[in-house]
Copies of this chain bind each other. A is one copy, B any other.
Amino acid sequence: MTTIYDVSELAGVSLATVSRVMNKNANVSDKTRQKVVNAMEQLGYRPSAIAKGLASNRSSSVGVLISELHGPFYGSMMSAVEAELRKFDIHAIIAAGHSNAEKEAESIEFLLTRRCDALILWVESVPDRYLVELAKRDTPIVVLGRKIAKITKNCVSLNNEEGGYLAARYLLEQGHRKIAYISGPLWKGDTQDRLSGHKRALAEYGVKFNTKLHCEGDYREEGGFRGMTELLGLRNTFSAVVCGNDEMAAGAMTSARDAGLSIPEDLSVVGFDNLVYARYLYPKLSTINYPVREMAQMAARWVLKHVYKNQRLVATNIFEPELVARDSVQQFRR
Contacts and interface: CB of A to CB of B under 8 A. Distances in A.
| Chain A interface size range | 35 or more
Interface in A207-257: 221, 225, 250-251, 253-254, 257
Interface in A256-296: 257, 276-277, 279-282, 284
B59 A70 contact: no
A221 B275 CA distance: 12
A96 B69 contact: no
A96 B113 contact: no
Given A91-B95, A91-B114, A221-B280, A69 B82 contact: yes
B91 A79 contact: no
A93 interface: yes
Interface string A275-319: 011011110100000000000000000000000000000000000
A1 B251 CA distance: 47
A112 B45 CA distance: 11
A85 B105 CA distance: 18
Nearest to A59: B50
Contacts of A251: 280
A328 to B, nearest CB: 11
Contact of A47 (B72, B113, B257): B113
A95 B85 CA distance: 12
Contact of A50 (B75, B96, B114, B138): B114
A282 B282 contact: yes
Q: Give the one of A46, A50, A51, A75 with max B CB within 10 A.
A: A50
A26 interface: no
Give chain A's interface secondary structure class.
Answer: helix
A110 interface: yes
Interface string A54-77: 100001000000001111101110
A167 interface: no
Contacts of A169: none
A257 to B, nearest CB: 6
A182 interface: no
A95 B96 CA distance: 15
Given A69-B78, A254-B284, A276 B114 contact: no
A76 B74 CA distance: 12
A112 B280 CA distance: 39
Contact of A282 (B49, B71, B253, B279): B253
A109 interface: yes
Contacts of A10: none
A107 to B, nearest CB: 9
A276 B110 CA distance: 30
Nearest to A276: B221
7 contacts: A48-B54, A48-B115, A49-B114, A75-B75, A254-B280, A277-B277, A281-B281
